[in-house]
Amino acid sequence: MDFNKDTAKKTAELLLQIKAIKLNPQTPFTWASGWKSPIYCDNRITLSYPTVRNFLKEEIAKLVEEKHGKPDVIAGVATGAIAIGILVAQELGVPFVYVRPEPKKHGRQNQIEGHLESGQNVVVIEDLISTGKSSLNAVKALKEAHANVKGMIAIFSYGFEIATDNFKNDNVELTTLSNYEYLLEQALDSKYITSEELLTLEDWRVEPSKWKQNEK
């Protein structure tokens, strides 16, 4: 994946500044999956900062058009990417839909909320890519609705090998504004972390599912 280095580093810097991304190598976070992690990312925090959300909106909209042309529809992945997806759709002047993890249990039992016609070109917006499983689940729902999914744009990716494999296997093009490598580079440059902490953060990425699992 090709990155605009300036955009990737600025994105990382903004996420660090507002603490949408927190780095804590000494006292790791525990993810819902049970993984121990020195990093925690919650990009929904960006919505509370107009300057940051406008930057993300404009950069994602530019990427959408550069990579895929102007789509018929923007689709956000619920729930984290609904708001940023709406902002991008507004910037591009196109309709918006969002995709639930599964169909509703009542009412019309929709999984896709909004108006989507068969054959329309859709670009999917996501806030964060870890394994890619939930993101690709949304793509599957859109394809089952006969949408032409052009690709996916996300704010940030941990860059896990399993995610790369999952997107490749599903033949979905993924582009992100920034990723883990640029985050670490920016964090070191801006003195959010030390050289020693950088080594810990790099070590985590080698085998994140097993990192510090035997420590209490």
Q: pLDDT tens-digit profile of 59-86?
A: 999 999 999 999 999 999 999 999 999 9
Please enumerate, by residue number, every residue annotated as part of a binding site for 5-phospho-alpha-D-ribose 1-diphosphate: 100, 104, 106, 126-134
pLDDT tens track for 151-167: 999 999 999 999 999 99
Give the residue with greater pLDDT, 101 vs 107: 101
pLDDT for 53 beyond 70: yes
What residue numbers does the annotated binding site for orotate cover? 130
Place of tokens 């121990």: 36
Q: Which domains does the chain have, with CATH numbers?
A: 5-206 (3.40.50.2020)
In a 3-state reduction of DSSP, which class is residue 7? helix
Q: Can you give the pLDDT at residue 2? A: 67
Point out the annotated binding site. Answer: 100, 104, 106, 126-134
Contacts of 167 (CB under 8 A, 6+ apart): 132, 136, 152, 173, 174
Q: Do 72 and 121 contact (CB within 8 A), yes or no?
A: yes
